[in-house]
C-alpha cells in the first residue's frame, strides 16, 4: 500500500474498511512516524466522540469465586493460593450507596462466574439499586442462561459486559478448557437480543496469539456492533499454569488499542486498572494517549 493511502485510510470512516491483512501490516508497523500518525488519529477520534471528560464507573467486585479454570486467570478455581471472598447482598447495596454518595452514575456489579448468587438474589438487588439510588447497573457476571439474563434485564440492569477474550477458536479452547466458544458468543447474542448495552473485548499478548488473530479480534469488535470495548493485557499470573510465560509484547498491545479506537470510532474504550501495567514503555499513561477514554 502507498504511504499516502495508508495514512489517509487511518482517518475516520475509512478506518472501518480495513481488511484483516491491512490490519496485520499495521500492527507490525515499526516506523515511528507512521505509528505517531495512528497514535494521533486514535486520540483525535476519542476527543471527537467522547470529549476530554473522564467518566468514572464504580466497580463493585462482589465475589472472586469462579467455577471456571481459564489458564491465564488468577481467579481460576484451581488457584488455591488466593483468599476467596463473597459479599452479602446487603454489603453490595451499601457499596452502591457509597458510589451514589461519591456521585457515580453507574455501578458495575462484577464477579467470577459464581453460581452462589441466584437470579432470585440478584434481581431484587438490581431493582432496589435502580429504584432507590437511581444508578445505572452494569452486570459483569459472565455466562448465565437466557432466562437469567432476561430477568436481570427486567429488574432494570442496563448493560452487560462479557468479553470474548479471543476470536480464535483454537486459542480459546486451549486457554479456556472448560468453556466453549459457541456458548460465549451465544451469550453475547442473547444479551444483545434482550436490549442490554453490550460491552465485550479481548486480551492482547496471550501466548501463541498471532497478529492475524489480533486483527480478527478488531474486526469482531465492528461485526458485533458493541456499545463498549474493553481490551485487557495478558500479564502472567504467578499462580496459574501460564506463570512465567512472556506476554507477546506491549508494542502490539498499544497498537491494538490504537486500531481498536480508530476502527470503532463511536464506541467507548474504557481505561481500567489493568492498563496500569508496570513495564515501560507501554505501562501507565501511554495507552491512555492511544485513544481509550
Interface with ligand SF4 by CB under 6 A: which residues?
A: 66, 68, 70, 73, 75-76, 112-113, 142
What is the Cα–Cα distance from 10 to 8, expressed in whole angstroms? 5
Q: How far is the CB of 64 from ligand SF4 (least distance, A)?
A: 8
Q: How many residues does the chain have?
A: 293
Residue with smaller CB distance to ligand SF4, 179 or 262? 179
Backbone phi, psi, residue 107, to 5°: -115, 145
Residue with smaller CB distance to ligand SF4, 166 or 264? 166
Q: How far is the CB of 285 from ligand SF4 (least distance, A)?
A: 26
Q: How far is the CB of 259 from ligand SF4 (least distance, A)?
A: 24
Residue with smaller CB distance to ligand SF4, 64 or 106? 64
Q: How far is the CB of 166 from ligand SF4 (least distance, A)?
A: 12
**Taking the CB of residue 84, how many other CB atoms lie within 10 A of it?**
14
What is the Cα–Cα distance from 198 to 182, expressed in whole angstroms? 18
Q: How far is the CB of 113 from ligand SF4 (least distance, A)?
A: 5
Half-sphere exposure in the Cβ direction for 157 (13 Å, CA): 30
Residue with smaller CB distance to ligand SF4, 232 or 291? 232
- Residues whose CB falls within 8 Å of the CB of residue 243, separated by 6 or more in sequence, listed in order: 236, 237
What is the Cα–Cα distance from 234 to 264, expressed in whole angstroms? 22
Burial class (CB in 10 A: 0-12, 13-18, 19+), 152: buried
Q: How far is the CB of 198 from ligand SF4 (least distance, A)?
A: 17
Residue with smaller CB distance to ligand SF4, 82 or 128? 82
Reply yes or no: is the peptide bond before residue 231 cis, omega within 30 of 0: no
Residue with smaller CB distance to ligand SF4, 39 or 190? 190
What is the Cα–Cα distance from 188 to 234, expressed in whole angstroms? 22
Amino acid at each position: 500500500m502507498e504511504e499516502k493511502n495508508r495514512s489517509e485510510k487511518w482517518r475516520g470512516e475509512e478506518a472501518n474498511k480495513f481488511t484483516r491483512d491491512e490490519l496485520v501490516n499495521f500492527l507490525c508497523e515499526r516506523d515511528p512516524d507512521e505509528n505517531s500518525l495512528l497514535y494521533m488519529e486514535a486520540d483525535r477520534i476519542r476527543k471527537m466522540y467522547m470529549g476530554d471528560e473522564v467518566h468514572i464507573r464504580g466497580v463493585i467486585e462482589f465475589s472472586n469465586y469462579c467455577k471456571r479454570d481459564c489458564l491465564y486467570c488468577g481467579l481460576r478455581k484451581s488457584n488455591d493460593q488466593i483468599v476467596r471472598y463473597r459479599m452479602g447482598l446487603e454489603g453490595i447495596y451499601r457499596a452502591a450507596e457509597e458510589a451514589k454518595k461519591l456521585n457515580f452514575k453507574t455501578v458495575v456489579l462484577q464477579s467470577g462466574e459464581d453460581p452462589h448468587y441466584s437470579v432470585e438474589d440478584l434481581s431484587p438487588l438490581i431493582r432496589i439499586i435502580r429504584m432507590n439510588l437511581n444508578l445505572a447497573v452494569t452486570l459483569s457476571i459472565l455466562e448465565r442462561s437466557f432466562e437469567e439474563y432476561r430477568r436481570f434485564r427486567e429488574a432494570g440492569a442496563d448493560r452487560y459486559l462479557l468479553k470474548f477474550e479471543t476470536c480464535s477458536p483454537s486459542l480459546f479452547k486451549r486457554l479456556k478448557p472448560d468453556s466453549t466458544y459457541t456458548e460465549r458468543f451465544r451469550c453475547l447474542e442473547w444479551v444483545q437480543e434482550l436490549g442490554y448495552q453490550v460491552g465485550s473485548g479481548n486480551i492482547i499478548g496471550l501466548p501463541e496469539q498471532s497478529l492475524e488473530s489480533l486483527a480478527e479480534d478488531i474486526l469482531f469488535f465492528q461485526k458485533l456492533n458493541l456499545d463498549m470495548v474493553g481490551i485487557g493485557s495478558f500479564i502472567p499470573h504467578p499462580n496459574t499454569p501460564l506463570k512465567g510465560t512472556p506476554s507477546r509484547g506491549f508494542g502490539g498491545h498499544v497498537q491494538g488499542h490504537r486500531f481498536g479506537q480508530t476502527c470503532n470510532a463511536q464506541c467507548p474504550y474504557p481505561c481500567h486498572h489493568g492498563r496500569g501495567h508496570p513495564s515501560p514503555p507501554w505501562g501507565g499513561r501511554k495507552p491512555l494517549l492511544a485513544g481509550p477514554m
